[in-house]
Structure 1
């Protein structure tokens, strides 16, 4: 078990696990007025692991999270089909 945890920590660019205090600092920032310009973004508190896993092609790579298409029953009716 310890070997697998050790291997996981080596995969994190920060080479260590994050602390609860570090996560709390991000939460406090997001709850403060200082984060008022942060809109519609994901913030990772993972020691750089996500960026590392995305690799050097990340800006060109497709996003992991995409918006699901609007279901047909929720779409506005097509005026052309009413003819």
Structure 2
């Protein structure tokens, strides 16, 4: 009976940032780094070349190992 009267509170998850880890793992792999470099070159906030940036992003996600592309695509940034 006591359990029925208890109010269930949602569980709070404390998640830490993972983007820096995903980026570092990619930079430490020569193939991934080679695919990431055009993104860094063309997708800069100060001088973004839209078409080249989009092409670099598409090329990365088409060719990069799933291990890296998924970690980067779904990383948490806090």
Q: How does the TM-score come out when normalised to structure 2?
A: 0.28
Decide which structure has the larger Cα Rg and report it.
1
Q: How does the TM-score come out when normalised to structure 1?
A: 0.27
* More helix as a share of residues: 2
Q: Which structure is richer in relative contact order (CA contacts within 8 A, separation 6 or more)? A: 2
